[in-house]
Structures are given as structure tokens and as C-alpha cells.
Structure 1
Amino acid sequence: MNGTLQNAAPAQDAILTRAAQAGDVSALAQLLERHRPGMRAVAISLLGPGTDVDDVMQDAALVALGRIVDVRDPEAVGPWLRMIVRNSCRTLLRASRRVEPLAQVPLPPDGDTPEQVLQRHALRDWVWEAVEALTPTLRLPVVLRYFSTGITSYQQIAQACGIPVGTVRSRLNQARAALAQALTATAATAHDDALRRTQASWLEAHETLAAAERGEFGKVVRDRYSREVSLLAAGERLGGADLLLAGMDGDLSAGVRQRPLNVTAGRSLVVWEMELLNPPDDPDHCPPGVAWIMTLDGGRFDRVSLYHAARPQAASSPAAS
């Protein structure tokens, strides 16, 4: 009898995994519930009891959602889920400070981002529909943490949003709970084509930069941005369209160019992550990168928050003898 039950468990896992890969919400929920004790045991064994365990479990559930299609052996989904938890815990333990529950979201072995994984299977549109159902306050930290490539840590999100790290942690905890409900609520509804929207945003980012180099950034701002657009940094309003134009003109005049590295595009929130290319004669003019975090209202960008990547730390000089 015991042997029969042991054989039935992997078979049931395989059925649920294949259903989840096809977009069945309840199947994924059942998988996580079936393996929750084992996943939690791994987290406790590595981290000890505490709030970090809950954070890792929540993150692991969202990572599993984005990567369930990558499971090649559906009968081995249990070890796969525990591996996600183990990797998350090890990332946390490597962090120099325990303020952040997870330094970065674990990525698939091939280096794809969660967004790139979601683009490859049917769950992507459903996930984005659920993200859009979140309030703007909760949506922004979720999108940055799980879909950006350079603003994933709690400290980076805090800097980009101009809020304390503790507030980031609180909002992500609320967002994960709300997202679970939103996923269930939107499972049977029609979903936009997230891949097509992202491809269009990639094109728009390139065209925007090309227009700026032709001296036509003002036309782009008139066509695509609200008249009352706000330019922000660290949550503080710096100015409006005039400052946006002046900033772009100043960078171009200094020989600085931008190159899109990653685009995340929802109906109400778009993130363009750019590499900043400094002129050869002034290699330290700008930080290595900037993210344009933009919200939309009525199809126009009404808020542009800029987040600059940290400059590489200079090598410490040798001690005097």
C-alpha cells in the first residue's frame, strides 16, 4: 500500500505540473500547497525560524509561477520547488546585511529574466492582468522586483520610489497577498497580449532616443507625454516637461548616449532600463545606467521617475608603507 501511495504522488505532481504549464491557476495552487511543508522545512533549516522564512516562501511562490514552464520532469516538481527555496535562502545568507530578505530574484540557468521567461509561455498575459489589478502603490514595487533587471533589491526599490526600505518590505508583502487574489480573479478573463505590448515599447524606446538625437525630442514629448508630466527622482518632483527636455539636451550636448537594455511594459506602468554611454574624453560624466519608470494616464506618460544605477566603487588605494 505504501509503495502504491509513493508512486501516486509523482504521478499526481506530473498531472498538476502539466496543467499549470498550460495556465491552470488551481493546479499551480495545489502544487504549492502540496509541497509547502517541504519548501518551508528547507527555508527553516537554512535560515532558522523568523520573518525571513515567510519572505522567502512568498518570493519562491512567485518565482515558481514565472518558471513553471521550465520544468522538464513534471514528476520531479517537488525537488525543483525546494531548489528555488534553497537558492533564495543562499542568496539571502550571502547578503552583507539582513535588512533585505532577498538580494535579487533567482534567475533561470540561462540568465533569462522573469519577464523573458513569462514571454515564452501562456501564463505571461494572465500574470500581467493580475499585476494591472494591483493598486499603483503596490504595482510599482512588484514590477521593479520581479520584472526589472537592475532595480530588484529592497534598497534599490526604496531609492527609486523615494521610500524607506521598511516600507518597500511592507508593500511587497501586501502586494504578494493581493497578487494571489488577483491571479485567481483574472484567471478566466480575457488577457492582453503582453509580448506584443513589450515589443511595441522596445520599438518606442529606440525611436524616442533616435528622435532625441535628431533634435526632435520635443515633438515626442508633445505627442506621447501629458502636458502636466512630472519628472521625479527618489520620489521627489523636480519639474515638468521643460526639465525633461533640458535634461535630454544636456546629456546629448555632453556626448552622452543611451542604449535600451531591458523594457517592461504594462498598460499603466512602463520601465525602460538604459545603459548610459559616456564620451571617451569624459568617461565618468554619468553613472553607468538609468531607468525611466513611467506611469500612463489616458495613454500618455504623466510621470517619469529616473533611477540612476550606482557608480562602480573605486578600488581602494594601497596603504602607505
Structure 2
Amino acid sequence: MSGTPVDAGPVKDAALTRAAQAGDVSALALLLERHRPGMRAVALSLLGPGPDVDDVMQEAALVALRRIVDIRDPEAVGPWLRMVVRNSCRTLLRAARRVEPMEAVPLPSDDETPEQVLQSHALRDWIWEAVESLSPALRLPLVLRYFSTGITSYQQIAEACAIPVGTVRSRLSQARSALAQSLTTTAATAHEDAVRRTENSWHEAHATLAAAERGEFGKVVKDRYSPAVSLLTGGERLGGVDVLLAGMDCDLSAGVRQRPLHVVAGRSLVVWEMELISPPDDPDHCPPGVAWIMSLDGGRFDRVSLYHAPRPEAAPTTITA
């Protein structure tokens, strides 16, 4: 026989990849199934038998959902998927050696953020619909891991959620498994426009800060926040509306300003990642950034958790003779 059957080679891969990039759910599922043996072989070779292999395979599927549009050569999707698995395995191995895990998702070279990529993704609304179906305990670590830009490592998620690192890993494993099932059940349903929701949240973040600088943060809180809102940091409840207002007033009085850098917006969970700008006369006044992690109930924010980015480590002092 001359030639190779289309179903067995890169031509079929290319066709499935292009279909998946255009939003075909079944094409993506077929693509993952075609390459599952090779992907699993990579995981087994690096991790050995065990539950970590299943976690890595689930993570690779999520990465494929978000990053399929990045593939420039559709015929090379197989090596790309195996690279995703290899990166995820290395992250787990680093974590096992108690070294800060690196971001497992290979970012494109044009410096797009995860949310910007997702916004251009034909499958984005379907993914968000599935994310919203998760329980709050599973949804938050998964959203931080895959959709935030500054709270992606296990340690950072643990600090933001006020849970042990081991619990983060367990909940992410459960979340990936639950999300896989939810993606199947929501594939044929109508999905809300995630792009519009995110754009509206960007506008709201800017408008909230502008109102605060005009002395109108109280009005924003009255309109958009629950009267019973809780403000937390590190899992500890600091107080309610009064503390929220006092905290903003204290920052502004000290000359601290905030600038939105990244927004994640679901129906029930919103994350605003902010740059903190210290006053010129006190450049070390505050950490470099803060994330507002907010849950919604009935369209109002009822819980605000603040996660402050760690200060950069000071450079070692050089002593000269």
C-alpha cells in the first residue's frame, strides 16, 4: 500500500485541531483520546504508577481547553500535548522537593494573559459554564490556578484560601475531575457571554477605584455590596462594611493608590488583581499588589478576601573592604 491512512496520522490531527480551535467540543475530545496513550506514557515515565498520573492527565486536558488556540502547527499537536504533560509532571516533582511550583501552563510568546487567551477562545463560554457548576470550595482554587495571573502556585492558593497546601492539591484534583464531568453535561447547553461579563467587571473595577478617590466609596458599597458583607484576609474575618470603608479610607489617606491589572469574572466569583502604588515619599509603604477575591450572592458581593502579593526579597548587602 502507498500512503498513510488519514485517520492514523498528522493530517487527522490537523483537522481535529482546527475544528477544536473553531469551538468544536467533540473534536477536542477526539484529539485528547487519540493522544491519551502517549501522554500517559510520558507521565508514567516521569512519575511512576500512582494517582499523580491521573491528576496530570486531568490537568493536561484543562490546559488543552485553554491553550488549543495557541497551536501554530496543527499537525504538531501530539508533541505539544506531551510537552504539557511533561511540564505538569515537573511541577509536581518540584513541589515534592518543597520547591515553589512553577506555572504549569505554557504561555504563548506574545505575553497574552490567561484571561486574554480565554477571551479569544471559541470554547470560553462553555468552559465558564462548567466552572460555575462546581461547589465554591472547588471553584475558588481552580479559578485561581487556571485563570488568575498572580495566585497560581499551590502555596499562593493555600495562602489566599487559608487552607493547607495538601488541601489545595486535593481540591484541585477533585475540581479537575468534577469539571471534566460538567464539561460533558454542559456541552450542548446555552452559555452566558463570558467576554461581556469580564469587560463589565473591568469597568466596575476602574469605576470603583475612581469613586473611592472622589470620596464616594461608601455609595459603591451600598449599591454593590451586601449589608452583611465580610472582609477577610488570610482566612481571618476583619469585620464588615465599617472595616471595608475604613480600610479604603486609610489607604487613600496614606497616599496609596490601586490600579487594576487583571480581572476574572464569573457569575458567582470575581477576582480583581490590583497593583498597589505606594506614596512617592514612602515607596515601601505597601506590598506590590493585592487581589480582591469576591463572592456574589443575589448579584451583590457578600464576601471579600484580600490576598497581598509578597514583597520582593531584598538584595543581599555587599560589604566592601
- In the alignment, is the contact (CA less than 8 A) between 2:208 and 2:217 conserved in 1? yes
Cα separation, partners in 2 of 1:188 and 1:176, compared to 1, 3 Å: same
Cα separation, partners in 2 of 1:199 and 1:8, compared to 1, 3 Å: same
- In the alignment, is the contact (CA less than 8 A) between 1:92 and 1:100 conserved in 2? no
Give the secondary structure class of the aligned counterpart of 1:152: coil
The residue number in structure 1 matching 2:176 is 176
User: Deviation per CA, 1:40-62, whole angstroms, max 9, x where unpaired?
Assistant: 22233344445444333222211
What is the Cα deviation at residue 83 of structure 1?
Answer: 2.1
Instruction: Specify the code of the residue in structure 2 equivalent to 1:314.
Output: A
RMSD: 2.2
TM-score for the superposition, normalised by structure 2: 0.93
Cα separation, partners in 2 of 1:79 and 1:218, compared to 1, 3 Å: same
User: Deviation per CA, 1:104-158, whole angstroms, max 9, x where unpaired?
Assistant: 5332222222221110021111111110111111110111000000000011011
- In the alignment, is the contact (CA less than 8 A) between 2:197 and 2:265 conserved in 1? yes
Separation in 1, partners of 2:117, 2:103 = 20
- In the alignment, is the contact (CA less than 8 A) between 1:260 and 1:274 conserved in 2? yes
Give the secondary structure class of the aligned counterpart of 2:182: helix
Cα separation, partners in 2 of 1:111 and 1:50, compared to 1, 3 Å: farther
Separation in 1, partners of 2:168, 2:94 = 20
The residue number in structure 1 matching 2:155 is 155
What is the Cα deviation at residue 21 of structure 1?
Answer: 1.9
Separation in 1, partners of 2:33, 2:100 = 26
What is the Cα deviation at residue 23 of structure 1?
Answer: 2.2
The residue number in structure 2 matching 1:17 is 17
The residue number in structure 1 matching 2:284 is 284
User: Within the alignment, does 1:55 sit opposite 2:58 as a pair?
Assistant: no
Give the secondary structure class of the aligned counterpart of 1:280: coil
Cα separation, partners in 2 of 1:153 and 1:65, compared to 1, 3 Å: same
The residue number in structure 1 matching 2:39 is 39
Cα separation, partners in 2 of 1:33 and 1:2, compared to 1, 3 Å: farther
Instruction: Specify the code of the residue in structure 2 equivalent to 1:171.
Output: R
The residue number in structure 2 matching 1:255 is 255
Give the secondary structure class of the aligned counterpart of 2:109: coil
- In the alignment, is the contact (CA less than 8 A) between 2:228 and 2:241 conserved in 1? yes
Cα separation, partners in 2 of 1:91 and 1:242, compared to 1, 3 Å: same
User: Within the alignment, does 1:130 sit opposite 2:130 as a pair?
Assistant: yes
What is the Cα deviation at residue 94 of structure 1?
Answer: 5.7
The residue number in structure 1 matching 2:226 is 226
User: Deviation per CA, 1:150-200, whole angstroms, max 9, x where unpaired?
Assistant: 000011011001111111111100000010011111111111110111011
**Aligned-residue identity in percent:** 81
User: Within the alignment, does 1:192 sit opposite 2:188 as a pair?
Assistant: no
Separation in 2, partners of 1:73, 1:257 = 44
- In the alignment, is the contact (CA less than 8 A) between 1:271 and 1:291 conserved in 2? yes
What is the Cα deviation at residue 33 of structure 1?
Answer: 1.7
The residue number in structure 2 matching 1:295 is 295
Give the secondary structure class of the aligned counterpart of 1:232: strand
Separation in 1, partners of 2:44, 2:98 = 15
- In the alignment, is the contact (CA less than 8 A) between 1:125 and 1:193 conserved in 2? yes
Structure 1 residues 185-194 or 94-103, which shifts more?
A: 94-103
Separation in 2, partners of 1:314, 1:73 = 43
- In the alignment, is the contact (CA less than 8 A) between 2:273 and 2:292 conserved in 1? yes
TM-score for the superposition, normalised by structure 1: 0.93
Separation in 2, partners of 1:175, 1:238 = 29
Structure 1 residues 278-287 or 106-115, which shifts more?
A: 106-115
What is the Cα deviation at residue 26 of structure 1?
Answer: 2.4
The residue number in structure 2 matching 1:80 is 80
Separation in 2, partners of 1:256, 1:142 = 31
- In the alignment, is the contact (CA less than 8 A) between 2:91 and 2:101 conserved in 1? no
Cα separation, partners in 2 of 1:96 and 1:283, compared to 1, 3 Å: farther
The residue number in structure 2 matching 1:165 is 165
- In the alignment, is the contact (CA less than 8 A) between 1:55 and 1:101 conserved in 2? no
The residue number in structure 1 matching 2:237 is 237
- In the alignment, is the contact (CA less than 8 A) between 1:95 and 1:103 conserved in 2? no
User: Deviation per CA, 1:15-42, whole angstroms, max 9, x where unpaired?
Assistant: 3222222322222122112111211222
Instruction: Specify the code of the residue in structure 2 equivalent to 1:110.
Output: D
The gaps in structure 2 that reach 5 residues or longer are: none
Separation in 2, partners of 1:56, 1:283 = 42
- In the alignment, is the contact (CA less than 8 A) between 1:105 and 1:145 conserved in 2? no
Structure 1 residues 33-42 or 191-200, which shifts more?
A: 33-42
Cα separation, partners in 2 of 1:2 and 1:308, compared to 1, 3 Å: farther
User: Deviation per CA, 1:190-227, whole angstroms, max 9, x where unpaired?
Assistant: 11110111011000000000000000000000000000
